[in-house]
Each structure stands twice: as C-alpha cells, then as structure tokens.
Structure 1
Amino acid sequence: MIAPMFSPQYARTRSGLMHYVEMGAGEPLVLLHQTPSSWDEFRELMPLLAEKRRVVAPDIIGFGASESIQDHSIERYAEAVLALLDELGLDRVDLLGHQLGGIVAVEVSHQRPERLGRLVLSGTPYVDEEFRRNRPRMHPLSLVEQQDDGRHLMELWVRRSGFYPPARPDLLDRYVRDVLLLEDQAEEGHRAISAYRMEGRTSYPGPVLCIGATADPISYHHVPRLVERLPQARLEVIQGGMVPLMEQMPDEVAALVSKFLDETT
C-alpha cells in the first residue's frame, strides 16, 4: 500500500507505459532502483530528499508496475528513462541510481549528458571485460521454480537473506514481493548487467558522487574501479551498508546526497 504522502502516477511514453511516484517541489531529482526491485526501495529515502527537491522515482521499464518488456538491456532501460523525462517535461535533472539503477544512470549520462546536472552512483560497478570475467557464477538469485506447497517463497528468501541485514525481515518481504511481480522475468535485470559494455561510456563531465557500502559483497569492491574512470568523482563510503542500502540506511544516504547536491552546481 502506498502512503498518502506519495503521488503515484502513470505516463504513456514512446518506450512504453511507466509507473512512477513523486513528492516534493523544486529542482528535479530522479531515483533509479536496483534489480529486481521497484520504486519502493526509495520509500524511506524520498521524504528526506523531498524537503528541498521534486523527487521522482519510476519503476524502470520491465519492473514493478511499469510495462512488461521482452527486450531487456541497459540501453533499453536508459531510453525509457529519457522517454519518461520527455513526457514529464523535465529537460534537465539530477540522477541517483543504485546498483542496476546506477548502471542505467551511466548509460543515460552517455546517451544524453546535456540532460543531467549531477550524478549519484550507489553500489555501481564498472562493467567491463574484467568485471564480466570475474563475476561469480551462481544460481539465479531471483528466479525459482514454483512449488505447490509454496517452498519457492522460502527459497527466494534464503537465497537473498545473506545480502540483507539481520533482524530486518520487512526488507526481505519487500524483495520477495517485487520478485513475484516479475514472474519469469525476475533475472532479466541481472542478465542485462552481464551483457552490458560500459567501456567508452564514462565520459560524463559533470559532478559525480559514488557511494560504496562496506558490507555489500556484490558491488563494494567494484566501486573504486568506476571512480578511477570518472576523475571528477567524489567517493563516499557507508560503513555497514548492505545490498538494500537505500532502505537499510536512508538517513546516511540522504545526508551524503543532500550535501553533494547542495555543494555542487
């Protein structure tokens, strides 16, 4: 259930029907979620950032309540984000992306750098040949075979639990819900990351903040490699942050992001 403070809406764009939630007023800040999540991972963060800004959090095309697609790719996601900006009349925005959302944000900054003011990349790896070669091979985290007795729901929970903070079953509940929305496409975001080529796409000249979370085993050690390719980037580290950083530690994230946006032009 969406709290009354949020404004959920749909936009029919050239890339498909997109669901988004917004709140606040002022300079626009767009938030892009990880896979296989939805705008909901920013539920706690949005009110903190909306004190000074108009915050827009879409479900990336193919996720959440946005239109289902068959052609999943980082490029496709980025084109849909740009299509949403056009539909909303947002010529220039600040952009925050977490994990998959950060990779999409890099692609947006490559395709249309003039549309961005400042860029925040959280838990975002540099997706090059080395990343693809060294990425651990594991069973799909978010795709399990349905069982008549519901055991697949427990399997989803168990596979993801090691990446989530102890004593936060509420966050795992939200993860499982988002996975169930995607049905048999729950792994398409991870496949899109594996197929992406970030080489030659990190020439964005504007201000960049990169955030690393020390207890995130998936992306923390990859973040410095991205910073190396964005010489203007500022790196900030959140101790104890895990994969669901946006939901787990919204106050810490909001403090870093607000400081960065206030200090840069």
Structure 2
Amino acid sequence: MTQAPRRGYVATRFGQLHYAECGTGEPVLLLHQTPRSWTEYLDVLPLVGTARRAIAMDTLGFGASAKPAGPHSVERYADAAGALVDALGLDRYHLVGHHTGGVIAVELAARHPDRVASLLLSATPFVDAEKRRAAVRVDHVVPRPDGSHLLDLWNHRRGFYRDGEEAALHRYLVDALTVLDRVTEGHEAVRRYAMAERLPLVRARTLAVCAPGDHHALPSLPKLAAALGCPTRLLSGGHVPVPEQLPGEFAELVLDWVGRG
C-alpha cells in the first residue's frame, strides 16, 4: 500500500512555501509545470517515496505557496526553491522538473553544481529565439459574469487528456483558478529566461525525457540534449500531463535515473 503524502510549510523571505513529501532516504525534489501545484505529482510522489525521500513543492506564486507581488521570473522561482531546500536541510539532492519545473531545475543545477546529484528534465522547453517568439496563451481566459470562462479554461487543456482522466483535469482547473489573474505568467517567465547562458554551468548527470504526444515540448528535446550533452528518453505515451497519465512509468524512470549514481 502506498503512503499518503505528508504536508508542510517552511518560512522564507518570500513567505511560506508549501510542500508535500513521502518516504525517507536520499531526497528527490520534484518541480511542477505552471500553472499547476504539487498535485501534478499526486500519484508519482508515493511511488518515488517507496525508495527515496520524495518532495514536491508548490512553486512560488502557485498552489498553496506564497504569492508575492512583482514580476515572475525563473530566477525568483529558483531563489524560492533554494530557500525551501535550505530550510529542509537538504545538503545534496536529486532534481526532477516538468515543463516550467524543468527550467527552474536547470537554474538550480547551474547555481549549485556541488549540491544537485542528478537532474531529470521532463518536457523541458529549450529557450531560444524561436521559443521567445512563440507566445503561449493556452491558459489565458477573460473572466465573464456568467462564469463561461471556466468552461473555456477546461476546454483549453481538454485535448491533453484522454477520456477517463477528468480527475486530473479537475486538479488542473483548481490550480489555474487559484492564480487566474496571473495564470500565464509562468510561461512568460520561461520565455524571458537566459537559458543559453546557464546550460554550460550544469554539471549534474542529466536525462531529458518527453511524452510522444506533447507537441509543445517534443521539438525541444533534441535541442536540450545537444546543449547539455545528455541522453534522451521517450515515454510510452502521454501528453503534457504525463506525470498524471503515466505515474508508474514516470516514477520508475525517476528511481532508475536517481539510482544510477
């Protein structure tokens, strides 16, 4: 039987940061895409927790973490993730990041090459001139008095999910509504990130993976791998929400990569 996640907060200069964790042993920090929360790893967390201390945080500005004023940036997300790592006393840890979480993981690994034991980048965008030109509006809605924008929000991502995966789509909707006034800012922060300057600083053993149906991220996979000189892996299926669609395969991949060190 898998264990229920333990929930907690740490106090930082940004305000309180929320996280959930399962298991004990070597820590593995999982970072979610935006505008999601730790619940993107709801089913992955206890599986990774069978062999490691699996920790999924709510990125600064999302989920139940503090939502400070001011512009979002990958650097500030990484500042807050670093503050959580310090507060939890994680001297050395493994990193897993999905979509925006992968970009944050790149920044953390570039800053702390002596502390990041391994890096798994899932569907992580390669931020170049082409990426900066591609405005992502998938989560953008205009609130209307009749509430019809809620259906718009649902339908914008409905195509990423198969029939029977509505529970995961509900979790997305809850997360997006929590930050509806700033729902696209995570994507905008990624497009502003100076990734080319940071990738050469990454020293951690790295694996780049993607779901075959994730047409948003799949074109970045060979570019990211070439820049980092790392291997790649395609999952057996799935789309943008692959940690929710294939939690067992995703968790097995994480544990395999972490264990190779």
Give TM-score, length-normalised by structure 2.
Answer: 0.94
Pairing of 1:68-217 with structure 2 (within 5 A):
68-69=67-68, 70-133=70-133, 135=134, 137=135, 140-203=137-200, 204-217=202-215
Match of 1:221 among 200, 219, 222: 219
Unaligned 5+ residue runs, structure 1? none
Report the Cα distance in structure 2 between the residues aligned to 1:28 and 1:37, rounded to whole angstroms.
22
Matched, 1:11 2:25: no
Quote how far apart the aligned CAs of 1:160 are: 1.2
Report the Cα distance in structure 1 between the residues aligned to 2:185 and 2:16, rounded to whole angstroms.
18
Quote how far apart the aligned CAs of 1:149 are: 2.3
Match of 1:37 in 2: 36
Moved more, 210-219 or 164-173: 164-173
Number of corresponding residues: 258
8 Å CA contact 1:31–1:95 kept in 2: the answer is yes
Match of 1:249 among 246, 249, 252: 246
8 Å CA contact 1:163–1:217 kept in 2: the answer is no
- Root mean square deviation of aligned Cα: 1.5
Report the Cα distance in structure 2 between the residues aligned to 1:42 and 1:88, rounded to whole angstroms.
19
Q: Deviations over 1:126-160 (max 9, x none)?
A: 11223223x2x45x222322222221110101111
Report the Cα distance in structure 2 between the residues aligned to 1:208 and 1:15, rounded to whole angstroms.
29
Letter in 2 for 1:258: L
Report the Cα distance in structure 2 between the residues aligned to 1:73 and 1:206, rounded to whole angstroms.
23
Match of 1:57 in 2: 56
* Secondary structure class of the residue paired with 2:207: strand
Letter in 1 for 2:252: A
Alpha carbons of structure 1 residues 131 and 144: separation in structure 2 relative to 1, 3 Å: closer
Report the Cα distance in structure 1 between the residues aligned to 2:236 and 2:52, rounded to whole angstroms.
27
* Secondary structure class of the residue paired with 1:220: coil
Quote how far apart the aligned CAs of 1:4 are: 7.4
8 Å CA contact 2:109–2:203 kept in 1: the answer is no
Quote how far apart the aligned CAs of 1:202 are: 1.1
Unaligned 5+ residue runs, structure 2? none
Quote how far apart the aligned CAs of 1:103 are: 0.3
**Identity within the alignment, %:** 41
Quote how far apart the aligned CAs of 1:109 are: 1.0
Letter in 2 for 1:116: V
* Secondary structure class of the residue paired with 2:114: helix
Quote how far apart the aligned CAs of 1:71 are: 2.5
Report the Cα distance in structure 2 between the residues aligned to 1:37 and 1:44, rounded to whole angstroms.
15
Quote how far apart the aligned CAs of 1:43 are: 0.4
Q: Deviations over 1:54-78 (max 9, x none)?
A: 1111101000000002331000000
Report the Cα distance in structure 2 between the residues aligned to 1:197 and 1:239, rounded to whole angstroms.
31
Give TM-score, length-normalised by structure 1.
Answer: 0.93
8 Å CA contact 1:45–1:246 kept in 2: the answer is yes
* Secondary structure class of the residue paired with 2:255: helix
Moved more, 159-168 or 59-68: 159-168
8 Å CA contact 1:214–1:242 kept in 2: the answer is yes
* Secondary structure class of the residue paired with 1:114: coil
Alpha carbons of structure 1 residues 224 and 166: separation in structure 2 relative to 1, 3 Å: farther
